[in-house]
Amino acid sequence: GNSTHTECLGHISLDAHFVNDHIIDDFYSAYLYSTQAKEDGDLDFASLSWDMLKELDALVIRTLPNGTEKQGKDYSGENAPYISTDDMKKIREAGIKHLIIDLPSVDPEWDNGALASHHIFWQYPANPLFDCSITEFAYIPDSLNDGTYVLKLNISNFVSDAAPSRPILYPISEV
């Protein structure tokens, strides 16, 4: 993908599954977390409260630095940061159903097609999770502070395992 898109299990499954058949485009509770890559290339989740995530539907990951040049960046051959399999297991254990990231993939660019973090997230093939999604290439502006939001994915109606989307985070205000 070269633009913001939301994927379903069909992205890695041997069987055809379409994003709009499995992902309900509803409003979800979400946590926005900003992080940067460690020296080995995987993202740093050291300051994230994994227990807090257990009460939410979605995790939105913004990588730092977060300049607007990200919106048109060509990541090919750049070995972009990614989510380690250990951290993806923690995301899965927290019960996150919708994962949003501002990078081209949750996996390393060069992994011989393993897509290990995708497989862990969807628990494929052992216990496939059909109602969970991964959204990649989602730019999150600096004007949003880390914290809890309401998320709407806004998935386009395509018959495909992935479809263009426009995730929007709505602030939660206390009354």
For the stretch 82-135, pLDDT in tens is: 999 999 999 999 999 999 999 999 999 999 999 999 999 999 999 999 999 999
Q: Whats the size of the chain, residue-wise?
A: 175
Write the single-letter amino acid at 18: F
Mean pLDDT of 43-66: 97
Dihedral, CA atoms, 122, 125, 126, 129, nearest 10 degrees?
30
Residue 59 β-bridge partners: 31, 99
CA 70/CA 37 separation, integer angstroms: 15
Average pLDDT of span 142-160: 96
The whole-number pLDDT of residue 122 equals 98
- Strand partners for 27: 152
> Could you tell me if 108 and 81 are in contact, meaning their C-beta atoms sit under 8 angstroms apart?
no
The pLDDT value recorded for residue 78 is: 86
- Region of 115 (left: φ > 0; alpha: ψ -120 to 50; beta: rest) is left
Give me the percent of the chain exceeding a pLDDT of 70: 98
Instruction: Evaluate if residue 153 carries a pLDDT over 70.
Output: yes
Mean pLDDT of the chain: 95
Q: Which two tokens stand for residue 67?
A: 């300049």
What pLDDT band is residue 175 in, cutting at 50, 70 and 90? low
pLDDT band at residue 71 using 50, 70 and 90 as cut-offs: confident
Which of the 8 DSSP states describes residue 145?
P
Q: What percent of the chain has pLDDT over 90?
A: 89
Q: Give pLDDT tens digits for 26-47.
A: 999 999 999 999 999 999 999 9
Residue 173: is its pLDDT beyond 90? no
**Model confidence at 68: pLDDT above 90:** no
Indicate if the alpha-carbon torsion angle 11, 65, 36, 170 is positive or negative. negative
Q: Write the pLDDT tens digit of every residue in 74-83.
A: 999 888 999 9
Q: What is the pLDDT of residue 1?
A: 58
CA 165/CA 175 separation, integer angstroms: 31
Amino acid letter, residue 109: E
